[in-house]
């Protein structure tokens, strides 16, 4: 995907999207402390349509505007709901043509509602292929310099693999749910999980196990030193609300 000139991006951002969207929020749990560490903002249609439905509306003409609108709306809604912990936002890497320019609306939105940027985490989404890994590395480095938390989502699936990890070490790695599912009984997954945890330990990257649906899955990772979790076992996403957690 060709990079946009600042004037072109501003024109795109001003265009109407042609569809409405909002967010559901799912807790990120610190099991060791038995508290909510944060919430991930999961895009939804205004009438509770799925994330897939929303992303199907995104194309080359509105990708930049959508990415910018997502950041602003997620921060504004989180502030309205009184979120006091980490806010995790997915972003479209191919929509960011120049990190310092594209982050301005995020900083402005956070400032206007009094939401500390140190509590905002950016996750790379798996919904589109990363065309330029060097450009993504530049984005992540700039975000870290601005005080944001960075994360690789769905690690072990799709485009976020070891090759990307070799270029950039995020603050957080989210293990893909397919690796987490039935890990307590699948010896192959256990070997892979232990290997990834060793890599993260060596690189000083914190790990979150996502898609956790059973106590046995949570116990397996917790016994290996993982404290952060996300999944239906703890709480389902809440549409435009911050759902409580079951420990």
Report the distance separating Cα 125 and Cα 175, nearest Å: 13
Q: Which residue do the tokens 């979790």 mark?
A: 229
Q: Mean pLDDT, the chain, as a whole number? A: 88
Task: State the pLDDT at residue 129.
Answer: 64
Please state the pTM of the whole predicted model.
0.89
**99: confidence class by pLDDT, cuts 50, 70, 90:** confident
Please state, in angstroms and as integers, the Cα–Cα distance from residue 40 to each residue in 19, 36, 110, 177, 226, following that order.
Answer: 22, 11, 16, 15, 18
Entry field: residues in the chain: 247
Task: State the pLDDT at residue 9.
Answer: 44
**Residue 168 CB coordination number (10 Å):** 18
**Residue 247 CB coordination number (10 Å):** 9
Tell me what the mean pLDDT of segment 122-148 comes to. 78
Whether 66 contacts 95, CB under 8 Å: yes
Q: What is the chain's Cα-based Rg?
A: 18
39-76 as b/e, with b when 16 or more CB fall inside 10 Å?
bbbbbbbeeebebeebeeebeeebbbbbbbebbbbbbb
Task: State the pLDDT at residue 6.
Answer: 45
Report the distance separating Cα 77 and Cα 238, nearest Å: 13
Q: Which two tokens stand for residue 6?
A: 């600042």
166 or 110: which leads in pLDDT? 110
Tell me what the mean pLDDT of segment 97-102 comes to. 72
**113: confidence class by pLDDT, cuts 50, 70, 90:** very high
What share of the chain in percent tops pLDDT 90?
65
237 or 99: which leads in pLDDT? 237
Please count the CA atoms within 13 angstroms of the CA of 137 that sit on its side-chain side: 10
Task: State the pLDDT at residue 40.
Answer: 98
Identify the H or E element spanning 43. Answer: strand 35-45
């Amino acid at each position: 995907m060709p990079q946009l000139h600042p004037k072109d991006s501003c024109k795109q951002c001003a265009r109407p999207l042609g569809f409405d969207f909002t967010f559901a929020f799912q807790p990120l749990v610190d099991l060791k402390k038995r508290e909510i560490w944060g919430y991930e903002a999961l895009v939804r249609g205004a009438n509770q349509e799925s994330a897939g439905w929303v992303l199907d509306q995104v194309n080359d003409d509105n990708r930049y505007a959508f990415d910018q609108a997502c950041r602003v709306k997620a921060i504004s809604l989180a502030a309205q709901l009184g979120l006091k912990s980490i806010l995790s936002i997915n972003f479209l890497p191919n929509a960011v043509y120049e990190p310092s320019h594209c982050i301005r609306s995020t900083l402005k939105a956070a400032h206007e509602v009094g939401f500390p940027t140190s509590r905002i985490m950016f996750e790379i989404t798996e919904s589109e292929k990363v065309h330029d890994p060097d450009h993504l590395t530049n984005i992540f480095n700039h975000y870290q310099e601005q005080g944001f938390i960075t994360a690789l989502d769905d690690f072990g699936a799709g485009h976020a693999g070891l090759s990307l990890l070799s270029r950039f070490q995020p603050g957080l790695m989210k293990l893909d749910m397919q690796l987490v599912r039935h890990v307590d009984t699948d010896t192959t997954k256990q070997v892979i999980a232990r290997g990834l945890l060793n890599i993260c330990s060596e690189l000083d990257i914190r790990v979150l196990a996502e898609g956790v649906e059973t106590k046995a899955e949570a116990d397996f990772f917790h016994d290996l030193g993982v404290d952060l979790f996300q999944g239906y076992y703890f709480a389902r996403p809440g549409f435009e609300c911050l759902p409580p957690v079951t420990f």
